[in-house]
């Protein structure tokens, strides 16, 4: 496929509970980016309900797409759009299918190439959108509701998985502990807010798997539950602050060691948990101490969006790839590592 003429890419993201569409020029300039969050829909269940998410994507995708196209000076005929990129996994199967079906229909009717994108790779490209000249190699800490991964990026497209969670993802741990503390959903922002009022040294929660690149949050979660049961008078703010401190300590210690071990030029955060105020602050502090670059994307690019999908799709198309109209979804897609 000749990718030389591919400049303006429409991205579509429906892997979890955000319905998003964006138009990106040349793989790096965001022309429009529209995100419709389903947080209110899932809040009363304390987590994402897959069946509801799928149905909401069906309802929301058409208006979200129309807005992203209009803001980019295009229209439903796809004027000026050179390709369509869509998330094919990992994610919720019913939600992914909504985006992929729409992307195929648009690519076919507009007569433009289609490219399926790995959601995890898209999160890495979110950083490049804001900081195109990040140095290599990079260590990326990708922390979201579904993933906790430590990845070495030798350059775009060349990844090595250094470690990951053996149980809950970091965001999942925030969500579960917040639910237990009665702080609502999503848990990360709620704990972040309350923790600012608490004492992070009030309780000493466990930091699991020291000395590895892997993560485990289930022991920490159990420890919070046991502590609160034993001490019902404990201030919620102190519990939240001590919990946040434990999670951030573990994330920062691992990421810092990984960066030193691979001789990284910079350490980069990605994924929804990268919106955490303490994590952002601590990463910047340790990188300054170690004399390496720190890159902390804006909150809008940390959480799920379609600009990162368009950017990753543009890059893949310009590396000779393209997807057939038989493109399917893969709910458990992993990041292709190249060693």
- The residue ranges that bind ligand KG4 (CB under 6 A) are 16, 144-146, 171, 174-175, 186-189, 192, 271-273, 275-276, 303-304
- By beta-carbon proximity to Zn ion, the closer residue of 207 and 299 is 299
CA angle 334/335/339 to nearest 5° reads 125
Which lies closer to Zn ion via its Cβ, residue 150 or residue 241? 150
Cβ-based neighbours of 192, under 8 Å, separated by 6 or more: 244, 275, 276, 277, 278
Rounded to whole angstroms, the Cα distance separating 129 from 209 reads: 33
Number of residues that bind Zn ion (CB under 5 A): 2
> Is residue 244 a contact partner of residue 173, using CB atoms and an 8 Å limit?
no
Q: Which is nearer to Zn ion, 144 or 276 (CB)?
A: 144
User: Which of the listed partners (Zn ion, ligand KG4, none) does 189 bind, with a CB threshold of 5 to 8 Å by partner kind?
Assistant: ligand KG4
Strand partners, 139: 152, 267
Q: Which residue's CB is nearer to Zn ion, number 81 or number 329?
A: 329
CB 170, min distance to ligand KG4, A: 7
Q: How many other C-beta atoms lie within 10 A of the C-beta of residue 262?
A: 16
Query: In the chain, what is the straight-line distance between the N-terminal and C-terminal CA atoms, in Å?
Result: 27
The two beta strands, 148-155 and 138-143, are: antiparallel
Distance, CA of 38 to CA of 95 (rounded, Å): 12
Instruction: For the beta carbon of residue 250, count every other beta carbon within 10 angstroms.
Output: 22
Answer yes or no whether residue 102 interacts with Zn ion by CB under 5 A: no
Q: Which does 116 bind (CB under 5 to 8 A by kind): Zn ion, ligand KG4, none?
A: none
Smallest separation, CB 210 to Zn ion (Å):
27
User: What does 200 interact with, of ligand KG4, Zn ion, none (CB < 5 to 8 A by kind)?
Assistant: none
Q: How far is the CB of 200 from ligand KG4 (least distance, A)?
A: 14
E strand or H helix that includes residue 269: strand 266-270
Would you give the DSSP letter of residue 101?
A: H
Q: How far is the CB of 272 from ligand KG4 (least distance, A)?
A: 2
Report the nearest approach of ligand KG4 to the CB of residue 120 (Å).
9
Interface with Zn ion (CB under 5 A), residue from 124, 241, 304, 329: 304
Residues near 59 by beta carbon (within 8 Å), at least 6 away in sequence: none
Taking the C-alpha atoms of 250, 186, 21 and 27 in order, what is their torsion angle to the nearest 10 degrees? Answer: -10
We find the least distance from the C-beta atom of residue 325 to ligand KG4, in angstroms, to be 27
Binding map of Zn ion across residues 114-153, x = CB under 5 A, - = no contact: ------------------------------x---------
- Minimum CB separation from Zn ion for residue 123, in Å? 6
- Out of ligand KG4, Zn ion, none, what residue 90 binds, judged by CB under 5 to 8 A for its kind, is none
Residues 6+ apart with CB under 8 A from 44: none
Site for Zn ion, rule CB under 5 A: 144, 304
């Amino acid at each position: 496929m000749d990718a030389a003429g591919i400049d303006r890419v429409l991205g579509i993201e429906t892997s979890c509970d955000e319905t998003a569409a964006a138009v990106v020029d040349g793989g790096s300039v965001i022309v429009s980016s529209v995100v419709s969050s389903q947080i209110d829909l899932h809040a009363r269940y304390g987590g994402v309900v897959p069946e509801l998410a799928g149905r909401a994507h069906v309802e929301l995708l058409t208006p979200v797409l129309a807005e992203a196209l209009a803001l980019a000076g295009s229209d439903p005929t796809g004027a000026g759009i050179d390709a369509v990129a869509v998330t094919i996994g990992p994610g919720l199967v019913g939600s992914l299918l909504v985006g992929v079906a729409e992307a195929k229909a648009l690519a076919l009717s507009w007569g433009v190439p289609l490219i399926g994108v790995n959601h995890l790779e898209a999160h890495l490209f979110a950083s490049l959108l804001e900081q195109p000249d990040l140095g290599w190699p990079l260590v990326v800490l990708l922390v979201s509701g579904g993933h906790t991964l430590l990845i070495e990026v030798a350059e775009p497209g060349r990844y090595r998985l250094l470690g990951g969670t053996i149980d809950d993802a970091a965001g999942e741990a925030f969500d579960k502990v917040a639910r237990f503390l009665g702080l609502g959903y999503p848990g990360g922002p709620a704990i972040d807010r309350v923790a600012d009022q608490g004492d992070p040294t009030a309780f000493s929660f466990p930091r699991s798997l020291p000395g590895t690149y892997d993560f485990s949050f289930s022991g920490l979660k159990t420890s919070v539950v046991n502590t609160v049961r034993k001490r019902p008078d404990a201030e919620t703010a102190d519990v939240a602050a001590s919990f946040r401190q434990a999670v951030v300590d573990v994330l920062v210690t691992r990421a810092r060691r990984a960066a030193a071990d691979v001789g990284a030029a910079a350490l980069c955060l990605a994924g929804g948990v990268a919106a955490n105020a303490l994590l952002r602050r601590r990463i910047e502090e340790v990188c300054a101490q170690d004399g390496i670059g720190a890159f902390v994307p804006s909150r809008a690019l940390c959480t799920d969006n379609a600009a990162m999908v368009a950017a990753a799709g543009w890059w893949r198309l310009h590396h000779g790839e393209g997807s057939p109209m038989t493109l399917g979804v893969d709910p458990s897609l992993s990041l292709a590592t190249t060693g």
